[in-house]
């Protein structure tokens, strides 16, 4: 759960938090606890909550040692978000029923604000262990043995999602009359709704129609020619890079944010909990259970990757669009400043990340050789999805994909740089046919 809030949203959030009645939270939790445990057990609500970009979480401690969380959204609620929340809960309960993946158990929820607290909420089990993001760069903890345990444990859990397959790409719902789960159109995410995008898309029967449909949606709302040109380039990559053998079903449930702040482990690296399943979709296998964890693919999203010498690292915070950002041209080999230890940088080198991916791939190969084929190039698919959905990251990922496809450095102004490719698209006739 992100902690990045703007000054205005932070102020309104603090006002909202101050109005919440903690005794009401305790009462709701006590009633739910008694329903499940059949014992009237008092609980204490931690007064200071954890505030994220979209939710606020209070931690609850029961007298018998049980620990729950109370989570409520801080975004303006709507019927679409209600449907989004119900879809996520349906998916989480399906995962809990059919797998051993340690996601938090949901004890009670309200998807509408007409309740005692006056807000939608979820009462969930609190996961055990420590967030992996607090350990990954800790030299006292981080070792090859623990890293291998993390990867083996993650693979053993994520591969279980293979058993839950669907015929198309979309969001999950449950049809009570048919007594079965069904695929419905993709519901907007919190990010979509924050950007006033309420578009309902799909369901899609193939990966390519899904990616091209997302590009078309972005193209329709692209504010500038530069953005339209970069999206036109992504059409080329989206049409050719995804594995043709994985174009059709089966499709699988996909964790939206497979990152280390959402993974909890014990002292030895065994996964004890995986949280933050908001915005779940049914999607491609290489973008679902078989993909690499996001923290070992950071080098494929160059704008957010802060390793020294990263040729696509932004030179100034807040520089315009990705198409306009300047890119350093000094090769890493010419840098004279010593590179600080990984625990200070909070980043791993490209070579190290590639080695981590090989380790994760090896773990997947031991568990499921067939699915490991999907894993091998899943970071390329992930980069495509990020580029399509994020205009800010798009130009830098296009540079990365150009190097991947053509095997040449996409230096600023060079033949294969995103800037040069975009100028070629502008001068050609193809873009005019797309508009």
CA distance 361 to 82: 37
* Half-sphere CA count of 400, side-chain side, radius 13 A: 26
The pLDDT of residue 395: 86
* Confidence check: pLDDT of 128 > 80: yes
pLDDT of residue 411: 53
- Report how far Cα 357 is from the mean position of its chain's Cα atoms: 18
pLDDT on residue 433: 56
The pLDDT, as a whole number, for residue 312 is: 45
pTM of the predicted protein model: 0.85
360 Cα distance to chain centroid: 18
Band the pLDDT of 265: cuts 50, 70, 90. Answer: very high
**pLDDT tens per residue, range 167-202:** 999 999 999 998 999 999 999 877 777 666 677 788
Give the tens place of pLDDT for each residue, 303-349.
Answer: 899 998 765 443 333 333 444 434 445 554 555 568 889 999 999 99
What was the pLDDT predicted at 144?
96
Instruction: Classify burial at 151, counting beta carbons within 10 Å of its beta carbon; exposed 0-12, middle 13-18, buried 19 or more.
Output: buried
**How far is residue 155's CA from residue 270's CA, in Å, rounded to a whole number?**
11
Condensed to tens digits (0 to 9), the pLDDT of residues 392-424 reads 898 889 888 888 887 665 555 556 666 666 666
Are 62 and 68 contacting, i.e. CB atoms less than 8 angstroms apart?
A: yes
Mean residue pLDDT of the chain comes to 85
pLDDT at 420: 67
**Sorting pLDDT into bands at 50, 70 and 90, what band is 226?**
confident
What confidence score (pLDDT) does residue 416 get? 60
Range name among 24-33, 95-104, 222-231, 382-391 with the lowest pLDDT average: 222-231
CATH architecture of 132-307+344-434: Alpha-Beta Complex (3.90)
Q: Which of the four pLDDT bands, split at 50, 70 and 90, describes residue 434? A: low
């Amino acid at each position: 759960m992100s902690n990045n809030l703007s000054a205005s949203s932070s102020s309104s959030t603090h006002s909202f938090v101050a109005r919440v009645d903690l005794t009401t939270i305790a009462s709701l939790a006590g009633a739910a606890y008694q329903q499940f445990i059949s014992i009237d057990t008092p609980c204490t609500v931690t007064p200071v909550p954890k505030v994220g970009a979209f939710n606020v979480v209070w931690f609850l401690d029961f007298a018998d040692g049980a620990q729950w969380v109370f989570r409520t959204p801080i975004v303006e609620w709507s019927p679409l978000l209600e449907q989004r929340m119900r879809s996520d809960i349906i998916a989480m309960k399906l995962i809990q029923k059919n797998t051993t993946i340690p996601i938090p158990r949901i004890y009670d929820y309200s998807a509408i604000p007409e309740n005692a607290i006056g807000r939608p909420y979820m009462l969930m089990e609190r996961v055990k262990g420590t967030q992996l993001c607090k350990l990954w760069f800790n030299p006292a903890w981080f070792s090859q043995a623990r890293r291998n345990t993390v990867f083996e444990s993650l693979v053993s859990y994520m591969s279980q999602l293979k058993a839950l397959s669907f015929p198309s790409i979309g969001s999950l719902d449950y049809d009570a009359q048919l007594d079965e789960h069904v695929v419905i159109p993709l519901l907007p995410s919190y990010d979509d709704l924050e950007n006033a995008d309420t578009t309902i898309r799909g369901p899609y029967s193939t990966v390519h129609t899904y990616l091209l449909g997302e590009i078309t949606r972005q193209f329709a709302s692209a504010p500038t020619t530069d953005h339209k040109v970069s999206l036109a380039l992504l059409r080329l990559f989206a049409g050719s890079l995804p594995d043709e053998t994985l174009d059709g079903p089966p499709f699988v449930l996909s964790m939206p944010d497979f990152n280390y702040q959402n993974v909890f482990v014990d002292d030895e690296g065994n996964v004890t909990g995986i949280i933050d399943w908001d915005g779940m979709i049914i999607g491609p296998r290489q973008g679902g259970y078989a993909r690499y964890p996001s923290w070992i693919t950071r080098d494929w999203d160059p704008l957010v990757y802060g390793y020294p010498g990263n040729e696509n690292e932004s030179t100034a915070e807040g520089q315009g669009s990705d198409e306009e950002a300047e890119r350093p041209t000094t090769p890493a080999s010419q840098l004279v400043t010593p590179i600080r230890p990984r625990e200070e940088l909070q980043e791993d080198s490209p070579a190290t990340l590639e080695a981590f991916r090989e380790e994760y791939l090896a773990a997947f190969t031991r568990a499921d050789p067939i699915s490991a084929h999907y894993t091998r190039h899943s970071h390329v698919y992930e980069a495509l999805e990020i580029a399509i959905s994020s205009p800010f990251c798009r130009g830098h990922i296009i540079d990365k994909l150009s190097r991947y496809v053509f095997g040449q450095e996409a230096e600023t102004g060079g033949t294969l740089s995103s800037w040069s490719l975009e100028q070629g698209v502008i001068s050609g006739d193809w873009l005019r046919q797309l508009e």
